[in-house]
Structure 1
């Protein structure tokens, strides 16, 4: 019996090639989009969620109360892991780690007559006991136990020594300052992790080189803990909440809390000191997009099938007269829907396989086609069943309900409810299309605003060179030689790159400061000529200069910091940072030194001309950047021969801040275009059927003198009205949704009425182009041919 169902379904597909092609094309594109989004969502949800002990693995975050404000971050003191393991019995293992939510340190390693740069992080001895990073060589329990220990990836082992076996016990010198012994080789890390690294250095080495991390008042590294299997996470959170209370001051206090490590990638934002979403918003957004695109494809199938119901009326009437029961007809029509769905799924899989490399390029992922993933195939089977039932259930119920007497008398007509439903489904498609287009317009304009907005400094022709090796000691020589090089206009230095200044402190004092207050300031070290190099604007005072001996303890502040300090005439006034008393020498006009998601914070720039870390800033002349880079490479090779020359552009660093937004912009544009394409396929089918049904009506109107324009208006008026109804429904939804998305940016565009109007105008224009060919074709038919049978 089931074979007969599918045989009849196949015959119907072959007999109605055009409508079958439209249905299969729409479902294929819709399913392909949904599958690509499903793969992306699965990949996002898999990040950091593959660890064998993942349900016991937690990340510690800190909540600080100061100056009537609440701050929260994953940065913690560098000695916290050992203290938590010692004082909380429920914690089996603990490890500080640098860095999870920041970029790893790009270090230079020398060994086996090779000098290569690799990404390095730092961890404690418990790290490999907690994480599922299998060691190919070495003991997980002791690999990071001794000072000077180094665990490297298989890739790094092959790069230096040819194999993991040959690497064990060998030494590598890093940054030309210390020899490390290779005590472990781990398998290359998978793609779905948040903190990527090529090697791990023991924690005692980190503390030796970063004395600030031994101070409980400073934060920076991350802290990971693994709870015992019988431990209650809520109880642990309660126990550690006030663990740092003894370090509180009258002006601020600190609380600790925990979050499951596997959740931190998608839920990494904080509001009022508590977890409040993050990348999970994009996961939910694209999940909804996938459902809506598939709905549009299913609606096409339902509309075309119900619209053509009268074409199959005689078949249904004869079957019922011959004794076919309604359940039999239901199964027949559902089998047709399932056959189309299975064909569409098969084509969609081919399309996904072909488009996956392009999709990876757009999304910045490394998704592989999941041949061996049983959950993917189970999900695909469920998706096929749901799609087939969603697309075929209503047409099956409608077609099987026809009364044979009316059919055979020729008095069967589409009911008002059926027509209303069909129109309602078209309106729903238009609503979704308007939402997609509006979202694409808003997201692309916000991304363009981010990319084009003036940050308060000139990020073009600005190069960063890391201060490493001998460059830190020979910075003054480097600067002198670089300034004498053609194509280089100015040279300075900074502790952190201008787009990632994030070091904060409460340790700022000034005259007449309000007692028992401790506002937070962002701070970093800069060199002489920083203002000139960055092309910053001074509101008052001057740049730090070697011509003034007092500038060794001179400070630059921005307008936001000056508002907090409250000086009316700040130049020359006292300012103390971390106990170092100096004077304010200049006030900078506010400039953006972090993401536009956040407002400009109070900033203090201290003199760091002799610091041993950071980046050199080089301002090149327009059009001479490549020439300048070649000259800089020669200078660096002379002054710093043990280190490969590396550099980056300010523009590239800035665009990395908004990589997620740029990806969302591209993907939303693609999915919007595909959703509209699917909708147009359905409209094309309906236009073909409508033109076919109204051929005689058009012939009569032409005989009575109707012109081409009035006939085209007749055929297209209804679609335009449906689009306008959809506009009224979609407008408030789009306005609310886009404003909610824009609220995550401190600096953003404003929603404008023309964005919604442009969306509906685009829909109407695309719709008219879609149906115009069939409408004009029907209008141009000779009325003699269309009325010949009357």
Structure 2
């Protein structure tokens, strides 16, 4: 019997090739898209889960209260890790790490390359699973003269991991380190990314400010003992810093390390999002697209039910029970879902290279993963059952007597359900289209918004030791170069300020007032170089020797200080007495997800490490060539590496841009699948009303009148979908925009245009079938009457 059902199913697929193709195309495209999203979601959910002790690993976070607001930071004091390990029996291991991306110039023989690595304590390699190919992971970070390399780096410099062991290399043309270990390349599903490891003690010697409890700047991770309660640990560590630093506003808490990658955003001390938002968004999109594809199948199956009515009648007349008929039709549906899945896997393999490039992933279909194969089988069953359940019960319910007598008529319930499902399809498609437009508009809003900084033609690069040693001469030569407008120094990128301080005192300050100020250490000419506007007062000037004790503040800081005129007000900043000499206009020193914070600019050129150069418009390539030549003259031992501020701006919003691109692709796929189903339904409608159209044409109906008649039902469907989709789309897109402190206003025009676009697409889709039916010869349809 199973063979009979299989043969019947294949024969039926072949007999109705057009509808089989539409079903296969819709399901294949829906499944392929959903599988791509599933692979991306799976990769995101796997981040940091590969560590053996992942459930016991925690990141220490800080809550700090300023001006009644609670801010959360991942930066911690340099003394915290060892203190936690010494004083809390629940903590078995603790480590400090830098933030990753620590760039060093590697010199091995004549080879010179910039590599990125990290500093960490010895416990790091006991806590986190980064297996060593050669060497002893327990000892390598105990020795300040040792270094561990990734397998790729060892092969690059020494040919192999084994050959690298015991070899020496020079970093930054200064210290020489011995390779005491080689670790397997760090997986892409790790939030730690590094190609070398150095002892954290080396970093501490270079950054003695970390030896004070009041200074934050590194990350702290702990491993809890088996059975230890994170809640109990949080109670113990809450006031840990306050007990050691009088006047501190820090409250500590431990966040599960595997969760920190996806749940990285906090508001008022509570987790509010992070990359998990993208995961949830794409899961919803995948379900939307799969539902749209399944609805196509259900609609086309029920629409073509009359073609199979006699088959059902005959089978029932010869004794077939309803359960067997349901099984037959469900089997056909699952078979079609299975064939679609095979085709979808082929499409996925074709699309994966482009998808990986777009998402910066290294995704692959895990055919050897049993769980994934089970999920795939589940998707086949889910899709087959979802798409085939109603058609199976509907077809098996036909009365054999009325079918065989020819008196059977399709009930209005089936037609109503088909229309309802098409409405649902278009609701989902319209929501996706509206969301795509809003995301795109928000990205354009970000790119065009006045940030308060002129990011065009602005280059920045690190000060290397040779340049630093002769910086005055270097700067004088730099200013004489053609194509250079301005030159200044800074200790960080002005679009991404990461340093903060409470170290500002002013007259009349309430002792209870706590304000956290962002701080940028700069040289003369920083404002004109960065394109930051002065609102009041003056800039730093070499004509005033006291300016090393004075500060500039932004408008937000001026507002919080409460002075009617802050210029000239006496202050103490970092133990230096001076005054506020000027107020700069607010500029975005972080991305637009966050509000502009109070900011201090202080004249400390000795603490800067970044050269900022503004070039003449149109002369940047020539200026870069001159800059490289000048750099090589002063410091040929170091590579000249630079960045453009506008490119850094693009990188800051890479995730947002990615969401915009993916949303547009998914919206197109959703509407395309919907149109496949609509095309099939239009064909069925035209065929079902063939005789009616013939009669109307004989009675004088014009072609335009018939086109309107055939399109009316689809127009109503789209209009109903528009009414439902608009409030839903408005709510969802507003939720997205609320993630930005600065966003465009949501316009009703977006949804009006979405509705018009959906209507045009529907008319174009059904237009071919409608024109074909309206222009057909009525004799052919009425010949049998």
TM range (shorter): over 0.9
- Select which of 446, 452, 455 maps to 1:456: 452
**Corresponding residue SS for 1:774:** helix
CA deviations on 1:119-140 (whole Å, 9 max, x unpaired) are 1211001010011101112212
Q: Give the CA RMSD over aligned residues.
A: 1.3
**Corresponding residue SS for 1:245:** coil
**Alignment of 1:81 onto 2:81:** yes
CA contact (8 A) 1:176 1:469 kept: no
**Alignment of 1:202 onto 2:199:** yes
Question: Aligned ranges for residues 631-670 of structure 1 at < 5 Å?
Answer: 631-670=626-665
Quote the residue 2:461 is aligned against.
465
Partner Cα separation in structure 2 for residue 247 and residue 720 of structure 1: 71
**Corresponding residue SS for 1:333:** helix
Quote the residue 1:92 is aligned against.
92
1:759 to partner: Cα distance: 1.0
Quote the residue 1:51 is aligned against.
51
**Corresponding residue SS for 1:317:** helix
**Corresponding residue SS for 1:169:** coil
Quote the residue 1:424 is aligned against.
420
**Corresponding residue SS for 2:118:** strand
**Alignment of 1:626 onto 2:621:** yes
Quote the residue 2:174 is aligned against.
177
**Alignment of 1:714 onto 2:709:** yes
Quote the residue 2:688 is aligned against.
693
- Select which of 482, 486, 491 maps to 1:490: 486
**Corresponding residue SS for 1:221:** strand
Quote the residue 1:437 is aligned against.
433
Quote the residue 2:739 is aligned against.
744
CA deviations on 1:675-732 (whole Å, 9 max, x unpaired) are 0000000000000111111111111111111111111111111111111111111111
- Select which of 124, 139, 142 maps to 1:142: 139
Residue correspondences, number: 785
CA contact (8 A) 2:483 2:622 kept: yes
TM-score, normalised to structure 2's length? 0.98
**Alignment of 1:226 onto 2:223:** yes
CA contact (8 A) 2:540 2:547 kept: yes
1:548 to partner: Cα distance: 2.1
CA contact (8 A) 1:90 1:228 kept: yes
Question: Aligned ranges for residues 8-407 of structure 1 at < 5 Å?
Answer: 8-99=8-99, 104-250=101-247, 252-407=248-403
- Bigger CA drift: 20-29 or 226-235? 226-235
- Bigger CA drift: 210-219 or 663-672? 210-219
Partner Cα separation in structure 1 for residue 244 and residue 442 of structure 2: 43
**Corresponding residue SS for 2:765:** helix
**Corresponding residue SS for 1:496:** coil
1:374 to partner: Cα distance: 2.0
Quote the residue 1:507 is aligned against.
503
Quote the residue 2:404 is aligned against.
408
CA contact (8 A) 2:65 2:514 kept: no
CA deviations on 1:553-585 (whole Å, 9 max, x unpaired) are 231111111112233333333222211222222
**Alignment of 1:446 onto 2:481:** no
CA contact (8 A) 1:447 1:661 kept: yes
Partner Cα separation in structure 2 for residue 506 and residue 610 of structure 1: 21
1:314 to partner: Cα distance: 0.8
Quote the residue 1:679 is aligned against.
674
CA contact (8 A) 1:363 1:667 kept: no
Partner Cα separation in structure 2 for residue 274 and residue 317 of structure 1: 63
CA contact (8 A) 2:549 2:573 kept: no
TM-score, normalised to structure 1's length? 0.98
Partner Cα separation in structure 2 for residue 738 and residue 476 of structure 1: 53
Partner Cα separation in structure 1 for residue 710 and residue 470 of structure 2: 79
CA deviations on 1:1-29 (whole Å, 9 max, x unpaired) are 21211110000000000000000000000
1:543 to partner: Cα distance: 2.0
CA contact (8 A) 1:64 1:72 kept: yes
1:478 to partner: Cα distance: 2.2
Quote the residue 2:518 is aligned against.
522
CA contact (8 A) 1:167 1:182 kept: yes
Partner Cα separation in structure 2 for residue 476 and residue 700 of structure 1: 95
- Select which of 755, 759, 775 maps to 1:780: 775
Gaps of 5+ in 1: none
Partner Cα separation in structure 2 for residue 546 and residue 366 of structure 1: 53
Partner Cα separation in structure 1 for residue 724 and residue 169 of structure 2: 65
Partner Cα separation in structure 2 for residue 229 and residue 441 of structure 1: 50
**Corresponding residue SS for 2:724:** helix
CA deviations on 1:91-130 (whole Å, 9 max, x unpaired) are 111101111xxx5122212223322110121100101001
1:249 to partner: Cα distance: 4.2
CA deviations on 1:359-385 (whole Å, 9 max, x unpaired) are 112222221232322222111111011
Partner Cα separation in structure 1 for residue 757 and residue 604 of structure 2: 55
1:653 to partner: Cα distance: 0.7
Partner Cα separation in structure 1 for residue 571 and residue 650 of structure 2: 35
1:248 to partner: Cα distance: 4.9
Partner Cα separation in structure 1 for residue 565 and residue 63 of structure 2: 35
Quote the residue 1:765 is aligned against.
760
